[in-house]
Amino acid sequence: MQVDPSVTGTWVTVDVELPGTGTGTGSGSGTGPASWSARAVGPNPERVTTTTTQVMPATAPSGAVVVRTRANLPILGPYDAPVDLITTSFRPPGAVPVVVSGRLASATGVGAGGLLDLTVGTTPVAARVTSVVPDVPSEPGAPAVLADTDLVSRALLAAGDLQVATNGWWVGGPTTPDAQARVRALGLGTVVTRAGTTDELTGGPLRVVFPVALASIVPIALLLVLAGAALNVTADLEARAVELAQLRAVGLRRADLARGLVAQHGALLALLVAIGAAVGGAATRLIAPLLVRSDTGAEAVPEVVPSWPWAAEALLLGVHVAGCAVVVAVIVSRRVRRADPAHLRLGAA
């Protein structure tokens, strides 16, 4: 509100009607008639020497009340110099309590109980440090200040800054399916959701390769394990062809020979799968945290916590062991059927 001192008379009175039943007449802290205040702001606040604010009781059927502000405007300067007068339903908050990051505290040399002069936009805001923390969650590793948005907004309004101090909101756990559409309808700006971000990262033509590659790792690993098991068992049985023929020649039945070979190779491959799982788990805990970095390339804050889903991993390892057992059984069955005393002549040669 601007009041021109060219208005005749020393006192200027402004009445503002507030709709609603009993608005501003309650007795709660910060909302009662005693909480209203007026002050001059802007380049010439000294031109207003006295201000008063009065909340008039509701008289109209609509229940509206009237907030009356009176200001004493002595003629001290050019008539065309405006005077900004702010009336609020709260007292000026004074120094805003804030929490600062360790990097800001070390750079400014301020500790708990110290005072800071902050600038929000172009408006100075006095702040009092209540605590020093290693990092502010939204700005890890950076010099940052954490403050209550309501108190900052009140400090800005008391200084005559009517711009909205908040430029982003976080909403946790929306319960209605149309929450995103309803927030967009408010016209507050761009709305970003976890589901939408996930779709963008996984469905885009340039980004779909990464999740596809991750999804293909498990089946490719299983195929490699089965192929390796098949090659290992085949090579071993080829090298032991004469030994198998000798066992058959001394009267060992094919079924007993097959069971022994399956048990031998199955136990060895199961042990190798277990060792591989242990190495993979250790690598996940030691290497994976080093691969996850922040958007600036620095160490992620908060730190990375490896997750090892035991149920899924146990199922995956069971599939690997069962697949190896099937491969071993098929190869051993074929090789044992071909083992006969004729192979002994190869050994004699």
pLDDT digits (tens, 9 = 90+) for 239-278: 887 788 778 777 788 888 888 889 988 899 889 888 988 8
Residue 207 has pLDDT above 70, yes or no: no
Q: Which of 210-214, 215-219, 228-232 has the lowest mean pLDDT?
A: 210-214
Per the domain annotation, does 298 fall within a domain?
no
Give mean pLDDT, residues 196-216.
Answer: 73
- More confidently predicted of 62 and 153: 153
Tokens of 313: 């991993």
| Cα gap 332→40, rounded to integer Å | 95
- Please indicate, yes or no, if residue 48 is contained in any of the structural domains: yes
Cα 41–chain centre separation:
39
Amino acid, res. 13: T
| Phi–psi pair at 78, nearest 5 degrees | -55, 140
CA distance 300 to 47: 53
Specify whether 227 is located in the same domain as 312: yes
Residue 77 CB neighbour total at 10 angstroms: 12
In this structure, are residues 5 and 47 in contact, taking their beta carbons and an 8 Å threshold? yes
How many Å apart are CA 93 and CA 96, to the nearest integer?
7
Q: What's the rounded Cα separation, in Å, for the pair 116 and 129?
A: 7
pLDDT at position 28 is 37
Q: Please tell me the total count of domains within the chain.
A: 3
If asked whether residues 50 and 118 sit together in one domain, one would say no
**Residues written for the chain:** 349
Domain boundary (136, 165, 194) is at 165
Residue 174 belongs to some domain of the structure = no
Tell me: do 59 and 129 sit in the same domain. Answer: no
Contact 156, 96 (CB under 8 A): no
Domain carrying residue 76: 2-88
Mean pLDDT value across residues 129-151: 87
How far apart CA 63 and CA 23 sit, in angstroms, is: 8
More confident residue, 145 or 251: 145
Report, as an integer, the average pLDDT of 182-195: 82
Is the Cβ–Cβ distance between 190 and 167 less than 8 Å?
A: no
Which of 61, 118, 55, 51 lies closest to 85 in space, CA to CA?
Answer: 51
CB–CB of 120/181 below 8 Å? no
> Is position 264 within any domain?
yes
Highest mean pLDDT among 132-146, 160-174, 202-216: 132-146
221 and 104 both lie in a single domain: no
Residues 6+ apart with CB under 8 A from 263: none
Rounded CA separation 347/53 (Å): 114
Strand partners, 51: 71
Task: Answer for the pair 42, 84: CB distance below 8 angstroms, yes or no.
Answer: yes
| CA proximity to 4, closest of 78, 70, 67, 86 | 78
| pLDDT band of 206, cuts 50, 70, 90 | low
List the structure tokens of 195: 């589901």
Cβ count near 133 (within 10 Å): 13
Residues 27 and 81 in one domain: yes
Split at pLDDT 50, 70, 90, the class of 238 is confident
Estimate the crossing angle of helix 254-291 against helix 209-239, to 10 degrees: 150
| Predicted confidence band of residue 132 (pLDDT cuts 50, 70, 90) | very high
Last residue of a domain, one of 54, 88, 122: 88
CA dist., res. 317 & res. 300, Å (int): 31
Q: Are residues 101 and 213 in the same domain?
A: no
- Residues 131 and 236 grouped into a single domain: no
Contacts of 276 (CB under 8 A, 6+ apart): none
In a domain, 246, yes or no: yes
**pLDDT top residue among 252 and 144:** 144
Q: Identify whether residues 100 and 81 lie together within a single domain.
A: no
User: What's residue 285's pLDDT?
Assistant: 86
Q: What are the b/e assignments for 138-155, b being 16+ CB within 10 Å?
A: eebbeebbbbeeebbbbb
pLDDT value at residue 21: 47
The confidence band for 176, taking pLDDT boundaries of 50, 70 and 90, is confident
What pTM does this model have? 0.51
Q: Are residues 213 and 328 located together in one domain of the fold?
A: yes
26 and 83, same domain (yes or no): yes
The closest alpha carbon to 327, from 253, 217, 237, belongs to: 237
Span 25-64, pLDDT tens digits: 443 344 456 678 888 776 667 667 677 787 777 665 666 7
In a domain, 230, yes or no: yes
Whether 192 is covered by a domain: the verdict is no
pLDDT, mean of residues 12-21: 74
Q: Which one of 131, 165, 199 terminates a domain?
A: 165
Count Cβ atoms below 10 Å from residue 116 Cβ, excluding itself: 18
Q: Which long-range contacts (CB under 8 A, 24 or more apart) does 177-185 make?
A: none
Mean pLDDT within 286-302: 77
Specify whether 129 is located in the same domain as 226.
no
Mean pLDDT taken over the chain: 79
Per-residue pLDDT band for 201 (boundaries 50, 70, 90) equals: low
Same domain, 54 and 106: no
Q: Is 30 part of any domain?
A: yes
